[in-house]
A and B are shown apart, each in its own frame.
Chain A
Amino acid sequence: MNYRGRKTVHMSNASWIRSALERFEAPLTRYAFGITGDLERARDVVQDTFLRLCSESPARLDGRVAPWLFKVCRNRALDVRKKEARTLSLEDDRSESRESPDPLPSAELEAKEGMTRILALLTTLPENQREVIRLKFQNELSYREISEITGLSTSNVGFLLHRGLRSLRELLQRDSRGSSESARPVRSVP
């Protein structure tokens, strides 16, 4: 009977992990993809994330599974990216007052197949703004959770979101006003 009792604990642990897998598999893979830029690496990262979840206890993570998963996933993805030496790590442009790259001209944006205008504009934002925007609006995480995931302070998260949203608004508005201005680079912040 003891034996069975122990099994039951493991089973409930397993089903807990399986339901977490079901719930977060797709969001995490998309998130990791955003960091690694490589689908296979992203999947490996998410796999590793869940492998780590296997050794966590449900009680310890109660109510915090989402930020925990995103955090582990993020760190793993950044490690992978560093190793791949593909791009700078996110940390490096945390300093923030970097200027946005030139916005893409409309035609080029349209050419990004199937991508809507706002998503195309999103790709022109600095990576740290892009990341918090995705965490906030794609994964419905709170400032506090995003802060836990990224290691930024909540006010920093709020600042990045504020900045990112403002840039998007401005870019969209300029779009609707006409394309003559759109070749001019946007200055990020005064």
Chain B
Amino acid sequence: MSGYFRTSYLQDTALLDTRAQKAWFGAFAIALCTYPFLAGPLWLDLGNQVLLASIGAVALMLLTGYAGQISLGHAGLLAAGAFTTGILSKEFGASPWLTLPASAAVGAVLGLIFGLPSLRLRGLYLAVSTLALHFIVIFLGGEYETRRGFSTGIVIEPPIGSARGWYFALLAAAAITLLIALNLLRSRTGRAWRAIHGREAVAEALGISVQRAKLSAFVVSSSLTALAGCLFAYYRGFVSAEAFSLYLTIQYVAMIIIGGMGSILGAVLGTVFVVLFPYAIDGGMALVGLSERLSSVVFAVNYSAFGLVMILFLVFEPQGLVGLWRRVQNWFLLWPFKQGRLLK
């Protein structure tokens, strides 16, 4: 044991409890703030992408990892936020201060709609109904594009010009999302979510309104996702229905699977992994000298490598990166005594 025991409720609910944790957190925060000054343009863009995707991944983690509601409609919700932003700023010239809350509101309404099937359906059938809703949202977005004559997509003016400015904006957004998620999870709502994940009948017997918990999970997760979609639209400066394919949903689901279900840290680790993965593959191919020969099919290489990695995680490491991380931690904590196996 580490020798740290909690002696009050205040300590029990603290986000950072030991001094060492606080010190590490401080160091990490400083590292995050100095990163944009050290990184080149490519790495800065990667950092931005990670921060942007982490908002959506944390939102999905709340819904699937904690409340246990399977959703395959994540890209549809991102698209809803992005299209709300695109339409409002194109048609009415709305500023981000209007489009952000509007996206969140649209996300909340859609979350209610996506969540309604969850009151009757579970597991597979729920996943399928959210998948169906995804196709309908994308269809409506595409329909708007063609009707208004933006057949290739809606171009919008990004409010922030520099990549470094974006970095700090996205960092703030990601930090706020993280804080919202952590605070929700240690409150009544979060406990209710975990309870319905465990077993609905027992949760009901404990006085938790299952319907309310499910719908609140969908609404919170969807409005956060739509916010991420809004930021995505501004960051890219471009909204198009093609960007929100089923593959995007799969990437988000992969983030929480690879990161580790039921852990916010997992969502963040998974995001880093999934966002950086294609670049790592590119780098690897350049290293082996294959990139010349395979340049026309790079996306196919990415596809197959991504599928393979996902299968490997599902089969060999269902706990995800967080499970790996915890085993490494325990290995060091217990050293030099009972040594578990680092890799299963």
**Chain B associates with chain A:** no
Residues in A lying within 8 Å of B, measured CB to CB: none
